Structure 1
Amino acid sequence: MELPRNSVWEFKGSDLAEDGLYRVLDFMHDVASVILFPLKTESTTSRPLAISTEAFIEHVKSRKASKSEFNLPSFLLVAEDNIPEEHIARRNKNYGLIESIVSDRAFVFDYATKKRVPHLAEYAKKVGIDRKALSRLLTQYWCYGQDKMALLPAFSKSGGFGKDRKPTDKPLGAPKQPRTLAIQRAVKYIITDIDKSKFKKALKKYYLKQARLTLSKTYKNMLIDSYSDEVRLANACGTKPHVPTLKQFNYWSKKLFTKDEFVKDRTTENDHLRNKRGLLGSVIKDSYLPGTHFEIDATVADVHIVSELGSQHILGRPTIYIVIDRASRMIAGMHVSLFHASWRAARQALSNSFLPKSRYCKQFSVDIDDSEWPCSHIPKELVCDNGEMIGLQPKKALNPMTKLSFTPPYRPDCKGVVEKRFDILNKEVIHEFLGTTRGGNIVRGSRDPRKDAIYTLKEVTTEIIKAILEHNRSIFDDLAFSSPLLVENDLSPTPINYWKIHLAKHKHELQAALPDDIIARLLPPVTVSMTRSGIHFNGLYYTCSEVEERNLASVARSSGQWRLEARIDENTTNHIYVKLDKSHGFTLCHLLPRSRMFKDKSMYESEFMQDWLDSKKELSPISVTSIDDHKNRQLMTKNAKERSKSSENISFAEKTKNVRQRRKDELKATTNVLQQITESQETVDYSSSNEIVGKVVSLPIGRIRRTKGDPS
């Protein structure tokens, strides 16, 4: 059993000493005794006591004495360099007065066991100090650890720091001092307990409310509620009212209520949790493994864009979806679209995060390997807000793959990792674009950012992809303190290194994603048509090798078109996924050359084209000329019918008689063609017109056409 010198022990139920804390001053082996000094006593001149070592050990074994701790006062817990010189001098002087007597073990034993110790008085007279003062120094020395620092003067407690002084007839604090002798200030008001209760009532009524009145306004309301009679009397007498001042009210408001009460009561619970609570914890304290939590959220980009089909068409601001791994800060997926925050856009971001990225990046002319963005996994839990992900469709699509976790309403701090990524993307990329709104920080009278919009959706998406790749390669100091694997393998604390090393060491919560399953569950479902020109969707035509091998376009031309189930990737028009047969999966179909105008564009451009066509049709469903033509046609028909009534008695045979001659007569009457032909024929010199007219010329006989089955 260890019984070190200067250790602290707590006695409970002992018959040797009163209950309390005791410090072991010394062991007297020659008399087999332990010298103990009582702690936490109100007396300034306490004396030690001596008990036998055997009895002390027995108390320890029987648990009547247990080891404990004694906290030193704060004025002793200072560094030597921070102690003023005058305090050090006083400490050294006091230690010099008792240094020789505390090292005298015989004196200590006598002082602990005898009521009268003449040696103490003799020593006090010898060093020139009062015996009571010497006893107080010994008490302080033994109480605070038998060290020179125990004798440091407690000047920090001077003036009753932290204690309320009782009011008397004399005002506390500095008196009011006039700046000039011509003006005499009012008598200082003495604050009583009644005034304090009035202060407290006014603060609760006016100040500690969400209305957030100022302290000066609260002070005026308090004077109206509690000191109106005094103010009226002073006004009638023409004297200064004897009421508390604003300075006194301000001082006692801080004494009556804590700062924490001011912070909590002057705001809503939601605002306190979001913006004013302490941030002692962290969202990653339980998510240090990749794949434990993915966070997803959307924001409207701070830039206006234009259409690829015409830069004069401003499309507004796109919506950015980000999916990020909470532990590694790795951005696992993204999606930029013209849709507002919805399940339609969110499913695209999720499919992007669950599928390999090389094909996706190639659509935007960013050539990478899958190892440069190695995120194609499904997380253990997906954290999202209480919005588009709470419907039946997201649950139906995602619950078989991962668990959905919803944050409380108006609490973006619960998914602060993805919220911070939006801020990084805006500051580092988007705010440098022409047409940016800079987060709404537009000075009144400045140029409308829509006038400067020049970038298309594809160009903005390309720059965001590059920024995300750079983000995944950036160093984050917090990652170095999240896992020891980075230090053990001498890797920079970047998201991609954190991701790769944890996957290599099999320390993650990720699961592999099946591409066909992701395409079927998450990509937007559409209905396409198999036509003679290929697979038709939204004005675009697609084909694949299976369509050509099975000659499905020819079948559609002969038997009529039919509908097929398909999935589209709204980021590109270059391909779609079509289920050609109910018993097979989805087949990748590519854009046909006849739709080359939409190559390397997003599906929004095809929808824009459909809207553009609809708007043109709505602008001019029929032309004004067609209306006039229709009326003229009806009038002409009416006149023709009236004209034909005169020939109703003539037979059909008579009407069709001599058609050729009538045609010649009509031509001669309406044109000069026949006359010119006749004149040209008259210039030819025929030797005998009668012979020509009567001569028969035989033409060569062609081959006889025989029908199938003819016996000849």
Structure 2
Amino acid sequence: MELARNSVWSVNDSELLKDGLYRLLDIFQDVESVILFSLDDSSATVRPIAVSLESFIELISGRNAKQAFYELPSYLLVDEENISDDHVGRRDKNYDFIKGIVFDRTFIFDYSTKKRSPKLARYSEEIGVDRKSLARLLTLYWRNGQDKMALLPAFSNSGGLGAERTPTTKPLGAPKQPRTTAVDRAAKFIVSADDKKNFKKALKKYYLKESGLTLVKTYKNLLKDSYSKEIKLAEAIGIPPQVPTEKQFRYWHKKLFSKELTIKKRTSENDYLRNKRSVLGSITDISYLIGAHFEIDATVADVHIVSELGSQYILGRPTIYIVVDRASRMIVGMHVSLYHASWRAARQALTNCFLPKSDYCKSFGIEIGDSQWPCAHIPKELVCDNGEMIGIQPKKALTPMTQLSFTPPYRPDCKGVVEKRFDILNDEVVHELLGTTRGGLVVRGSRDPRKDAIYTLREVTAEIIKAVLEHNRSIFDDLAFSSPLLVEHDLSPTPINYWKIHLAKHKHELQLANSDEVIARLLPSAEVSMTRSGIYFNGMYYSCADVEERNLASVARSSGRWKLEARIDENTTNYIYVRLDKNRKFIKCYLLPRSRILGDKSMFDAAFIQDWLDTKKELTPISTTSIDDHRHRQEVTRQAKRRSKIAENVSFKDKTSNTRQRRKEELEATTNIISSDSETSDTNVSPYSSPLGNKIIPLPKGRKRRTNGGGS
């Protein structure tokens, strides 16, 4: 063990020295001794102690002496430039007094081993300074580190700093000073121990509670509760009452209760943890590997949209789902829909997160390669709130693939990365669109943002996708301090660079997603029908190569339609996933030309068409003309029934016999009379040779029907 000058040692269970801290002042090799100074002795004058070098080494070997640390007073730990000239002068003056003797090793040895030190007495006479004063300076010098700064004046605690003073007959602090000589101020109130108890009681009762009163109102209630007699008596006499002032009350409020306690008492636990607690760290400090934690959350977009099938129909504000990698700040998945925050919308965002993004972006008219948004993975843990993700269905769908982690209620700060992404997207794109609500910052009397809505869901989604891609390419300063890989490979601290370099260096917690499994587990399920015209779903028809090869539409035409299981991607109507057989995987089926009016649209537009059709049916269940026709038909039926009663006695045979003759008679009675000769001659004349007038053109006669036995 090295024995260094000025080192500090802790001695325990030793017969040689008392227990405590000692500073090693010097080592005398010629007499094999060490000079120690006790740091636990708080006396103004303390003499060093000389012990045998061998004995001290034995203490160290036996672990009775260990090297320790002595904390210097805070007033010594200052920069030379921050010390006042007066203090520097005092320090230098004191150092000049002892510098002629403190480096004399003979004096130090004698001073440590002898009761009397004649050399110190002679030196004090030479410089004209009292011997006891020199002894006190030497004690400060050895105690505080054996340098000039050890003699700095200890004025930091002057005036009883931090100590509570008790007033007697004279109040503490500055007296009340009138602004003019024409007015006499009331005598200053002396705060006693009983007054402090009243202060505590009033503060706990009115101020230190959630939604408590202000200090001003608390002070007034204090006077009403504890000093009402003094105030009434002073008012009767006509003098100022002897009560604590508001300034005194405020002062003792700070003295009696700490700021931290005041903050905790005046707010709820959730509000304190969310908005008022100290933020010394971040959730990203323990999550620097990509894929370790994905955060998912939803928010209502700050913009109103219109229907793609009719801009006169305002659809309200869509819901945005975002999935973010906590370590890289990479937005790894998203979904924009008209559904509220729910498992139905969340599963679409997770599907987008787990599958490649090029086809998704292409469906919105944005051409990218998979390397521009290289996120198609499952995380180790998915962080979500106590909302739509806490049900049985999410657990069944996601637990086989990843671990679910739920944040406490009313604690959005526990997934602050995804919450911050919403602010970024709002500032970058949403608040610049027409129809935006700007986060609810609407001034009374201003124009209703719904009147300015012009964008469809598809257009808003496309703009958000572009903003997400730009976000993933943006520089974030925090990423430069999260991992050394960006600096080592000279890469800009962007989310996409952070993602790619950690993926390339195998420093991640990602799991590659199986597309068939993701489609089967996460996309919303639906029931479709195999019909003669294709696979029918929600007013649209789909088909695929397998349907055509197996001629399933022809089978449905002959045998009738049947139900099939399907998975629906609500972002587009261009395709759905259908399981043709229960033992086969889902096959991608594309929209047929007969449903092209709904092509390149979202499933919400198809649902809108169905709703629109239902409203039209509800508006006009039947026409008013059909009602009149129905009534007229009923009246005709009644008249016919009355006529038929006349022929009730006639047999059915008589009614049906000689039908041709009766038809001929009916024609002659209701039209012009036609003779048999003219009838024959008219058949040889072209009907176009003369105007028809009152003539009737006979039609060709049909062949005579044969009756089978017994007929007339």
Secondary structure of 2:567 counterpart: strand
The equivalent of 2:493 in structure 1 is 493
More divergent stretch after superposition (40-49 vs 337-346): 40-49
Secondary structure of 1:627 counterpart: helix
The equivalent of 2:243 in structure 1 is 243
Structure-2 separation of matches of 1:198 and 1:341: 52
Does residue 307 of the first structure (1) align with residue 307 of the second (2)? Answer: yes
Does residue 133 of the first structure (1) align with residue 137 of the second (2)? Answer: no
More divergent stretch after superposition (282-291 vs 598-607): 282-291
Structure-1 separation of matches of 2:374 and 2:103: 72
Structure-2 separation of matches of 1:43 and 1:146: 17
Query: How has the CA–CA distance of structure 1 residues 127 and 581 changed in structure 2, closer, same or farther, with 3 Å as cutoff?
Result: same
C-alpha distance after superposition, 1:2-55 (max 9, x if no partner): 110001112223233322211111112222211111114332222212111111
Normalising by structure 2, report the TM-score. Answer: 0.92
What is the Cα deviation at residue 122 of structure 1? 2.5
C-alpha distance after superposition, 1:222-260 (max 9, x if no partner): 222222222222222221111221111111111111111
Does residue 666 of the first structure (1) align with residue 670 of the second (2)? Answer: yes
Secondary structure of 1:478 counterpart: helix
**Letter of the aligned partner of 2:358 in structure 1?**
S
C-alpha distance after superposition, 1:572-591 (max 9, x if no partner): 00000011112211111100
Secondary structure of 1:651 counterpart: helix
C-alpha distance after superposition, 1:483-527 (max 9, x if no partner): 111112211111111111111111111111111111000000001
C-alpha distance after superposition, 1:448-478 (max 9, x if no partner): 1111110000000001101111111111111
The equivalent of 1:454 in structure 2 is 454
What is the Cα deviation at residue 661 of structure 1? 6.6
Structure-2 separation of matches of 1:487 and 1:476: 14
The equivalent of 1:208 in structure 2 is 208
C-alpha distance after superposition, 1:110-129 (max 9, x if no partner): 22222222222322232232
**Letter of the aligned partner of 1:437 in structure 2?**
T
Secondary structure of 1:89 counterpart: helix
The equivalent of 2:661 in structure 1 is 657
**Letter of the aligned partner of 1:520 in structure 2?**
A
* Equivalent residues in 2 for 1:111-510, closer than 5 Å: 111-510=111-510
Does residue 515 of the first structure (1) align with residue 515 of the second (2)? Answer: yes
Secondary structure of 1:668 counterpart: coil
More divergent stretch after superposition (342-351 vs 199-208): 199-208
C-alpha distance after superposition, 1:645-686 (max 9, x if no partner): 55564532233326357446634389xxx99x979969999x
* Equivalent residues in 2 for 1:575-590, closer than 5 Å: 575-590=575-590
Query: How has the CA–CA distance of structure 1 residues 669 and 643 changed in structure 2, closer, same or farther, with 3 Å as cutoff?
Result: farther
The equivalent of 1:536 in structure 2 is 536
* Equivalent residues in 2 for 1:563-578, closer than 5 Å: 563-578=563-578
Structure-2 separation of matches of 1:134 and 1:101: 10
Query: How has the CA–CA distance of structure 1 residues 669 and 142 changed in structure 2, closer, same or farther, with 3 Å as cutoff?
Result: farther
What is the Cα deviation at residue 215 of structure 1? 1.2
* Equivalent residues in 2 for 1:18-37, closer than 5 Å: 18-37=18-37
C-alpha distance after superposition, 1:147-171 (max 9, x if no partner): 1111112222221111112322222
**Letter of the aligned partner of 2:26 in structure 1?**
D
Secondary structure of 1:284 counterpart: helix
Query: How has the CA–CA distance of structure 1 residues 682 and 242 changed in structure 2, closer, same or farther, with 3 Å as cutoff?
Result: closer
What is the Cα deviation at residue 211 of structure 1? 2.5
Secondary structure of 2:661 counterpart: coil
Structure-2 separation of matches of 1:682 and 1:433: 75
Secondary structure of 1:102 counterpart: coil
Does residue 8 of the first structure (1) align with residue 8 of the second (2)? Answer: yes
Query: How has the CA–CA distance of structure 1 residues 682 and 613 changed in structure 2, closer, same or farther, with 3 Å as cutoff?
Result: closer
Does residue 624 of the first structure (1) align with residue 628 of the second (2)? Answer: no
Does residue 562 of the first structure (1) align with residue 566 of the second (2)? Answer: no
Query: How has the CA–CA distance of structure 1 residues 621 and 684 changed in structure 2, closer, same or farther, with 3 Å as cutoff?
Result: closer
Structure-2 separation of matches of 1:219 and 1:365: 66
Structure-2 separation of matches of 1:550 and 1:369: 35
Does residue 63 of the first structure (1) align with residue 63 of the second (2)? Answer: yes
Structure-1 separation of matches of 2:664 and 2:559: 46
The equivalent of 2:702 in structure 1 is none
Query: How has the CA–CA distance of structure 1 residues 435 and 151 changed in structure 2, closer, same or farther, with 3 Å as cutoff?
Result: same
Structure-1 separation of matches of 2:190 and 2:638: 112
Query: How has the CA–CA distance of structure 1 residues 680 and 166 changed in structure 2, closer, same or farther, with 3 Å as cutoff?
Result: same
Structure-1 separation of matches of 2:386 and 2:655: 86
Structure-2 separation of matches of 1:640 and 1:684: 39
The equivalent of 2:694 in structure 1 is none
Secondary structure of 1:306 counterpart: strand
Structure-2 separation of matches of 1:544 and 1:348: 23
Matched residues, number: 681
Secondary structure of 1:530 counterpart: strand
Structure-2 separation of matches of 1:683 and 1:312: 58
Structure-1 separation of matches of 2:602 and 2:687: 73
More divergent stretch after superposition (74-83 vs 642-651): 642-651
**Letter of the aligned partner of 1:121 in structure 2?**
A
* Equivalent residues in 2 for 1:40-79, closer than 5 Å: 40-79=40-79
Secondary structure of 1:107 counterpart: helix
Q: Give unmatched runs, 5+ long, in structure 1.
A: 686-712
Secondary structure of 1:454 counterpart: coil
C-alpha distance after superposition, 1:288-318 (max 9, x if no partner): 1111111111100000000000000000000
Structure-2 separation of matches of 1:234 and 1:45: 57
**Letter of the aligned partner of 1:52 in structure 2?**
S
More divergent stretch after superposition (394-403 vs 237-246): 237-246
Structure-1 separation of matches of 2:601 and 2:47: 92
**Letter of the aligned partner of 2:95 in structure 1?**
Y
Secondary structure of 1:126 counterpart: helix
Structure-2 separation of matches of 1:50 and 1:194: 55
Normalising by structure 1, report the TM-score. Answer: 0.92
C-alpha distance after superposition, 1:546-588 (max 9, x if no partner): 1111111111111111111111100000000011112211111
Structure-2 separation of matches of 1:662 and 1:637: 21
**Letter of the aligned partner of 2:309 in structure 1?**
L
More divergent stretch after superposition (91-100 vs 432-441): 91-100
Query: How has the CA–CA distance of structure 1 residues 450 and 669 changed in structure 2, closer, same or farther, with 3 Å as cutoff?
Result: farther
The equivalent of 1:101 in structure 2 is 101
Runs of 4+ aligned structure 1 residues displaced above 4 Å come to 644-648, 677-685
What is the Cα deviation at residue 192 of structure 1? 2.3
